[in-house]
Structure 1
């Protein structure tokens, strides 16, 4: 899906639907983004700040209320430019989590808004 929207507008629109919203980025290192995701989605203290732990926590989300969960990744291109392999690995985990959470009590949506000059938004998958 593509629509005109920046990160703050995407977050506001999701909140207006009653979604739990986390806004992360920009980050030039995967570890920084993993920390931000954990903080924004209120991951438990045992979260290990690595891809396996991210996958595990996104598969659960039981600490959040029932309803849609939206993760807005602002500045995803920053990580893609700085660490293409890390960017691809994060996208793979996030895409799988979106697919696995579909139809659950806490469906996950990941939004990758583009910079204002481009003014498009990509939603995974």
Structure 2
């Protein structure tokens, strides 16, 4: 079974907030999403509002955030890795 792909174009995303908002849009996060790293983890490990099956988050041009805010990039990357480990329905690809 092929995963549903959710693409986030990071070519213009230079802040943690912008990336989190883009993830929320791409994955149709519920309105209660708190736009912080804890909330990102909570939503990525749930995904109950999405159709059953596998989902793949593909973050392109992630180097834009890595260059503009290395700490934010590191924090988001850590949450993505932790969420993938906790949620068998989720895979993540981060591309430069």
Q: Give the TM-score taking structure 2 as reference length.
A: 0.91
- What is the Cα deviation at residue 20 of structure 1? 2.0
Q: SS in structure 2 opposite 1:23?
A: strand
Equivalent residue runs for 1:53-72 within 5 Å: 53-72=39-58
* TM superposition outliers: structure 1 runs of 4+ over 6 Å: none
Partner of 1:23: 7
Unaligned runs of 5+ in 2: none
Instruction: Work out whether 1:93 is the aligned partner of 2:79.
Output: yes
Q: Could you tell me how far apart the structure 2 residues matched to 1:41 and 1:20 are? A: 10
- TM-score (norm: length of structure 1): 0.71
Q: CA deviation at 1:52?
A: 1.1
Q: Alignment partner for residue 83 of structure 1, among 52, 69, 72?
A: 69
Structure 2 residue aligned with 1:108: 90
In structure 2, how many angstroms separate the alpha carbons of the residues matched to 1:113 and 1:92?
A: 15
Q: Could you tell me how far apart the structure 2 residues matched to 1:59 and 1:94 are?
A: 10
Instruction: State the shift of 1:113 in Å.
Output: 2.5
Larger Cα-atom Rg: 1
| Residue ranges of structure 1 left out of the alignment (5+ in a row) | 1-16, 115-125
Q: Which residue of 2 aligns with 1:36?
A: 22
- Equivalent pairs counted in the alignment come to 94
